[in-house]
Amino acid sequence: MRHLITLFIALSAFHAHAQFDVSLKLPRANFMALEAIAATVTVTNRTGATAVLGGPGRADWLSFEMTTTDGTALAQMNVDGSEILQVPPGGTVQQKIVVTKAYAPTEMGNYAIKARVLHTQSGDYYESNRARFSIIEIKPMWERSFGVPEGMKDAGKTRRYALYTFRDYETTSLYFRLIDDKTGDRLSTYRLGPLSMIHNPQITLDMKNQLQIVFMAQPHVFAHAIVGPDGQVIKLSYYNDEKSGRPIMQQTDTGEITIAGGTYFDPSKPDEMEGKRVGGKKITERPPGL
């Protein structure tokens, strides 16, 4: 009898697991503290019938749980499920969610996160794999204090721009961070793009105390970023050096920063540059990470 009960429980667990296949994937394994982390959740319907996920008045169907690697729970995040999703038998849906909106790790260390999907009709939950990641802190390659200009929020307060060279397993990226110069609080942290150190980045503050950077994103491709005193990206544009040489920041007589050299292109508009090539590749082949 005991064997029959054990077999029944095992079969029930297998049946429950077979309702949904849930997987979770992170873009990489290492992140900086307070960086926004976007997770991709893939759900495949194995119920044999159309599955209805969420909808007005129903419970949220997608949630996340973040833990330390030893299993200590840190936070849970429910995703708004008011929008109804219908998944046909065998069909798959994907959701990309910034999982650090509810809780962003601030300390160096190893963490894990998993997704839970609610099968509304039965009330059962189905869990994804545990995706592991690490929070890494590094010293800035460049930093500069400045005063917040008049007319802006927190005008007169002192902030600090900081730039970081972040090396992952296979990639190197340029990171930005805005810091409260008095308290040391990290106000915002994000990745500006891939970084090649063949040429050192050009970095300056303009008349409005905006941070301006020109950096090499990959061979023959340069990025020009302008970041405001509030830490928001004002502009991010791209140049290649095939015809007009390397783009360089220059200051005019009126104190404005301009770009000399390089050929501007928009990687989001491939039709405009069809057929042109940079470094043996079409410029329309958007550089990874741009």
Q: pLDDT tens-digit profile of 157-199? A: 999 999 999 998 888 999 999 999 999 999 999 999 999 999 9
Q: pLDDT tens-digit profile of 246-282? A: 999 999 888 899 999 999 999 887 654 444 444 333 4
Beta-carbon contacts of residue 248 (< 8 Å; ≥ 6 apart): 202, 214, 259, 260, 261, 262
Looking up tokens 């928001």 gives 232
Average pLDDT in the chain: 86
Sheet with strand 263-265: strands edge to edge: 202-205, 211-218, 221-227, 233-240, 263-265
User: Is the pLDDT assigned to residue 59 strictly greater than 80?
Assistant: no
User: Is the pLDDT assigned to residue 8 strictly greater than 80?
Assistant: no
The domain spans of the chain are 2-135, 139-282
User: What is the reported pLDDT for 290?
Assistant: 56
Q: pLDDT tens-digit profile of 220-239? A: 999 999 999 999 999 999 99
User: What is the reported pLDDT for 255?
Assistant: 83
Cα 179 off chain centre by = 19
Mean pLDDT on 195-216: 95
Pairwise CA distance, residues 58 & 73, whole Å: 26
User: What is the reported pLDDT for 13?
Assistant: 40
Pairwise CA distance, residues 68 & 132, whole Å: 9
More confident residue, 107 or 121: 107
Beta strands at 257-260 and 263-265: parallel, antiparallel or unpaired: unpaired
Q: Which CATH number fits domain 2-135: 2.60.40.2970, 3.90.1150.10, 1.10.3720.10, 3.40.50.10310?
A: 2.60.40.2970
Mean pLDDT on 49-75: 86
User: Is the pLDDT assigned to residue 134 strictly greater than 90?
Assistant: yes
Counting residues of the chain whose pLDDT is more than 90, the rounded percentage is 63
Nearest to 256 by CA among 222, 215, 226: 226
Beta-carbon contacts of residue 9 (< 8 Å; ≥ 6 apart): none
Mean pLDDT on 56-74: 86
User: What is the reported pLDDT for 14?
Assistant: 40
User: Is the pLDDT assigned to residue 2 strictly greater than 70?
Assistant: no
User: What is the reported pLDDT for 10?
Assistant: 39
Mean pLDDT on 82-88: 86
